[in-house]
Amino acid sequence: MYILQYYATWIVLLPALVLAMYAQLKVQSTFSRYLRHPAYIGKSGAQVARELLDRNNLSDVRVERTGRTLGDHYDPRVRVLRLSPEVYEGRSIAALGVAAHETGHALQHAANYLPLGLRNSIFPVASFGSQLALPLFFVGLLFQGAGLGWLTDLGILLFMTAILFQLVTLPVEFNASRRAMALLSQGGYITRAEAGKTKEILSAAALTYVAAVAVSIGQLLRLLLIRGQRRD
């Protein structure tokens, strides 16, 4: 009977998993489509990122090439903006959109944007929590009779720190995308027609973060159901 109850808990997670798969397919297809659309300005993502940084008095932030596809990110610890090969060397609308988005993170860091600072401070705890949460949860379930049931609750608390990190990430990412659109439009890097396509790329990427939060919340509800069923 408990086995049937255990598998029934997957029902609360399934919609979020479907959303996550859709979001991943959406961002990959959108990025690939606009990767084949050259931007009218004819500059690479690396060139645009460098110019945007310099225009905003961030000449000390380096722009580097990373070998990982869709591995674009800004590292606040060493003040480096890393771009994937398709973005670093690419002269497409997709390349410019992603490069400007990561530049937006560098601007957030320079401006001491509160959600970014909060996310960075939460990261060590969230990273630790995401790795130990599920092992502790299931160890607590297995050895509940031996007085280790409290590990189940600890696992849930640690899992909640990971969700908090994801929730704080949402405004950080949305704000970086708004900054990217403003940087590209006001700087004359994209035309009015290209602006809509750039926004589509950034919106598709944002959906993946929303989906990640949905999956985590679904997983949390599932863990709570399992804990309740086991204690009953």
Catalytic residues: 102
* 102 contacts: CB under 8 Å, gap ≥ 6: 49, 72, 73, 74, 81, 82, 83, 176
- For residues 133 and 158, the answer to whether their CB atoms sit within 8 Å is yes
Order of strands across the sheet with 62-65?
Answer: 62-65, 80-83, 73-75
Strand partners of residue 26: none
- For residues 99 and 47, the answer to whether their CB atoms sit within 8 Å is no
- Encoded tokens for 46: 């690396």
Distance from C-alpha of 51 to C-alpha of 205, rounded to nearest angstrom: 23
Instruction: Give the three-state DSSP class for 150.
Output: helix
CA–CA distances in Å: residue 74 to residues 57, 79, 98, 220? 16, 7, 11, 29
Task: Measure the CA angle with vertex 199, ends 196 and 203; round to 5°.
Answer: 140
